[in-house]
Structure formats: C-alpha cells, structure tokens
Amino acid sequence: MATEPDSSAPNSPGAAHSDELLAQVAALPSLPGVYRYFDADGAVLYVGKARNLKKRVASYFQKNHGGTRIGHMVGKIVRMDTTVVRSEAEALLLENNLIKTLNPRYNILFRDDKSYPYLKITAAQSAAQSAAAWPRVAYYRGAVEKKHHYFGPYPSAWAVKEAILLLQKVFRLRTCEDTVFANRTRPCLLYQIKRCSGPCVGLVSDEAYALDVAHAEAFLRGETQQVLELLEARMLKHSEQLEFEQAAELRDQIAALSNVLHQQAVDNVDDRDVDILAVKVQGGRACVNLAMVRGGRHLGDRAYFPVHVEDAAAIYDDEESSTSESAEAAPLPVEVQVLEAFIAQHYMEVPAVPTLVTSEPVSKRLTEALSQQTGIRIRAVHQPREQRRIWLEMAQTNAALQLARLLAEEGSQQARTRALAEALALPQDRLDELRIECFDISHTAGEATQASCVVFHHHKMQNSEYRRYKIDGITPGDDYAAMRQVLTRRYARLAQALREGGAGEGEMGTEGTDRLPDLVLVDGGKGQVAMAREVFEQLGLDLALIVGVEKGEGRKVGLEELVFADGRDKVYLGKDSAALMLVAQIRDEAHRFAITGMRAARARVRVGGSRIEEIPGVGPRRRAKLLQRFGGARGVASASVDDLASVDGISHELAEAIYRALH
C-alpha cells in the first residue's frame, strides 16, 4: 500500500525546510497569484506567478530536485510571501514589476536604464505672433504631455535625428528653440539650404505651414500614399491658377518624398506599427534584438542582454507544464523563456503595438494577458511571410552578431582579469568577484581639485559605484595631500568596521562600497604609493592591496610599471600584456572621471554657475531672462548693476543683490 512521504525524513524533499514554511505551503489557496522565495539573509531568490498558487508552489517542495540548479534554489528557501490576484493578467503585471524591482537571482531579468526617445511636434498655440504659434519638430525623451504630438518610440537617438532630418527635407518644419525663433530678423542657414520654410521672419503663411505640419504627421503615421495624393492635388490647383512658383515648390516636395520612400526599401505601408523580436542564446548568454516599424517605416533595432539566464533557465515557471498530469512535463526551450520574459517586462513600461513578429512561438496566454492590461489587442506572429519574414531575418542576423560581439568582449575582458591576477599573484578561484578601485587627482594649477574613485568588478567597469571627492583644506596643487585625504575618507570607516569584526577584506558576501577591494590602484609612482602606504598603515590595512601605476620613460603608453607599497620590486608587464591593458583601461577611466568632475567644478566657480538659482528673489523665469539677455552665466557675472536692472522683472535692489552674490 502506498503511503505519503514523511516531510521530516532526511532524504525527503521538505526535510531542509521548517514546519512553519511547509504549513504555509499547505494552506495556500487554489487561486491565481504571485509568490516570492527568500533565503536566510532576506534576499529574494525567485519571483513567480501561478494560475493555481497551491499546485504551483507545492510542486517545488514535493519533488526531490537533487543537485540541479532548481534544487540549489529550493534548498535555500527559508521564507515565502504570496499575493493573491484576480486574474492571470494581474499576476503577470505584478510578477514582472517585482522582478524589475527586486532583481531575484533565479529570474531572467532585462535591465535598461535608458528611456526610449520620441519625435515631438509641438501643438500650435493661439498667440498670433508668438513662436509657440508655429509647431516645432524636436527630439524628446521623458514624460509626454497630452497637448503635444509624439511619434515613436524610436530605438535610438540616431533614428529620431534621421527622422527629423527627413521632415526638414520634405516638409521644411522648424527645429529651432522658441527663444531663437523670437529673436530672428532674417532667415537662418536652414532656410538657405531648403531645410526650413522661414516662419520666423514671415516667409510662409500660417495656413501653408499648418498644412505642412499636418502632412508631416500623416507621413509619420504611415499615410504616405494619402500625403502624396494631397500634395499632387495642391500642385495641380496652383498650376491651374498659374501660380507656377508655388506649384514648383510642391513638385520639389513630392520629388523629395518619393525619393525618401524609394530609399526605404524595407518599408511596407500595409504594416503600420510592428515590433520584430529575435532571440539568440549561446555560451550561457542571450540577446533579444528588437526592431521597430512605426508608420510603415523600419526605424532600426536595439539589442538587450538579460542576466541570470543560466540559473533561470532551469526553473520553468509555466503552471500548465509544472502541474501537468504527465510525469515529466517538457520544459520550454531557453529561447522561448528568454523571449517571453522580455515581452512581459518590456511592455510593462513601453507602449505596446498590435503585432509582434517573433523568432520563437510565445504563449497565447501571455499575449492575452498583455492585451487585457494594455487595452490593445496584441497578437504574436511566428514563422511570418513576405516582408515580415525579411524583417525577422534581419533581426535574427543582428541578434547573432550582437551576441557574438558581447561574448568576444566578455572573453577578452575575462582574459585580462585572469592575466592581471596571475601577474600579481591574486587568487584565481574567484575572478568573477575580483574588485579593483582606482584613484586619480585632477585640478588646474590647484583650482577646483577633485579626486575620483572608479570601480572594476565582475570583469567590467561599474559606473554606478563611481565616486567623486571634493578636496578641501590642502595647499593648492598638493597632489600627495589630496591623495591622503581621499584614501582616508574612502577607507577609514571600512577599517573601523574591520577592526570591530564587520566588513571583511574581500569578503565574498558583501557588495559595493561596503567591502574592501582586492586591489587599490593609484595613478602615480613612488610618491603617491608612499602616501597611500602611510594612510593604510595608520588605518591598519594590508599594504599588499596598494599598487601604483608609474608612467614609463618619456611617459609613453605601454611602458608603465607597477609600484608596490609592501616593498616588492617594480614590475614591467610588457607593452602587449593583457594585464597591462586592463590596468591602463582602469587608470584611464579614473583619469577621465576626475577630469570631467574638475572641469564642471571649475566652470561653476568661474562663472557663477548654479549660484544664480540660489539668489533670493531669482526664480526660474527671472533666471531665464538673465541668461537670455547676457548670453549665459558668464555674461550675467560680468554685467553691471545698471545692466542687470535693465532686464524686465529685475528691480534695482534685486540687481544689487545679484551683483553682490556673483562677486
């Protein structure tokens, strides 16, 4: 007679979990929802959705997963949270919002810190002679306003700028800022080269300009044939009325538009708005290439590289498969998992389009849930024909090329990390965790001294962990004192924590600025290294961490030598050494980061910079008027009290206050 397994037995699936957790699993409702697994440190391991929470979650704890990745994850679970929702669409939305917010270890995660750019055509205002009365075409990134018209999103800034250039050539719409428009007395160069119709100086009527704007918007919506027919009708009308100059202008406009349409060989006006999605998986990495078609025009593509692919691929979070009556449900191919994760996460933040052309078949439940959430009927087309097939083949080729480039770059970077670890006798068993921090000092004759700290970790530069330090209280130009100050400020707290038994030296479980690096690079030779050694001796830190990058003879690139604080002899790695390439890459990045900070600080000191905003009584409008009148902050700083008082809205008392603040 068969008996149920005892969850307390040593080899049973639930043996490693507490009775409280197993009781929570047993008490789950048979409703749709989202679940989160946590480890002993409170870190999120996995976020999943289910049509039936009880069945889905119980499946993790009822089966012995052995030494697989999913087994490792299940073995780490100590706590679970669940949220019951009303529908699978709500579960999809919540799941992917949590994945992006919590960054779980075992979920496929797409990161993208850049918003998509749009092409913006401003709405015409009622003010007769105002610049706002003449719509302007512009590149735009940010939150949209209902009163203006936005087209896109576009895959890149380059694609938007190409579209703007096209509108200038064909429809001759203005691109200048309102302040420039309002102060023109004669047409600019764009009018001379037939890229603008000159509304700023009255060279086009408001009716004609409004028609050009309407035609441009119709063109961006993909109504190209209708636009051509309207232009031809206007041209014939002018010709019949013997207005041959206007007819000739429209003829040139039609020719320009026809030429553009002829050059857009991949365009198809039957498909207005389509996204083409191709996925490629190789070497534990994946690439999803997104190509955008808007208004029937192919706008280019953009590559995305998810993280956690290998870990997440072992955990198939499809309730229908995991709760199938068959003993062994076939897992989804990795490509499908990656593509579905991208679709679910991407269209939470980006406007969806009616048609998705995909290189892999995706779940119908996914598109139905997205349709319910977005209010747009979305369908996914696999194995397309004709023009769509050509688009998909292009996207697949680009996905393969982008992934090959990424793997080559990562392989090269990992080889450099390994070469440096070998050259400096660093541990070889944790190269993925090797953390290097590099410091540099920058100033101009002692003015606006800045120190930079850049971080190399996980085989790449970690921009989010860069830090700048404003150096004060030293003799101007004293680089050694600046280095002493920045190293003390960076490591004093960590040294104190180390003495008290907190953060460890290269501690594997600690991330970011809460741990000491495995290597501290300073840009300089014996002098800078000696100063760093003094700081580390005072703080009680390991001197072996400090390495100076000393320029070689004649300061030539490739002749640098490494100087050590613990007494080791100098090391010359060789001009073609992969280790030296990595050191030079990190050193140059620290130098670049320090210089940009120094230049910004120097500019603020010299021209007053943001100090104008800090003056009582000077709000955004008055500040804008001052900057417009005097051509920038430098001009405001050099203006006299009387000059300042001549600006509209600036009283004599306020002008005196501004002058005092800037001098």
d(CA 458, CA 418): 12
pLDDT digits (tens, 9 = 90+) for 585-612: 899 999 888 888 767 665 554 444 456 7
d(CA 193, CA 195): 6
d(CA 384, CA 293): 15
pLDDT score recorded for residue 261: 54
| Structure tokens belonging to residue 160 | 């938007």
Q: Which domains, ranges and CATH numbers included, belong to the chain?
A: 19-102 (3.40.1440.10), 274-318+331-404 (3.30.420), 431-597 (3.30.420.340), 608-662 (1.10.150.20)
Buried b (16+ CB within 10 A) or exposed e, 390-428: bbbebbbebbeebbeebeeeeeebeebbbbbbebbebee
pLDDT score recorded for residue 535: 92
| Structure tokens belonging to residue 495 | 């040294």
pLDDT score recorded for residue 510: 44
Phi, psi of 391, rounded to the nearest 5 degrees: -60, -45
Sites in the chain below the pLDDT cut of 70: 1-16, 65-68, 112-114, 126-129, 250, 253, 256-271, 313-331, 445-446, 502-513, 554-555, 557-558, 598, 600-611, 613-614, 631-632
d(CA 319, CA 55): 8
pLDDT digits (tens, 9 = 90+) for 55-98: 888 888 877 766 667 778 888 889 899 999 887 778 887 888 88
**Preceding peptide of 153 cis, ω within 30°:** yes
Contact 299, 155 (CB under 8 A): yes
| Structure tokens belonging to residue 4 | 């149920």
pLDDT score recorded for residue 555: 63
Distance of CA 334 to the CA centre of its chain: 25
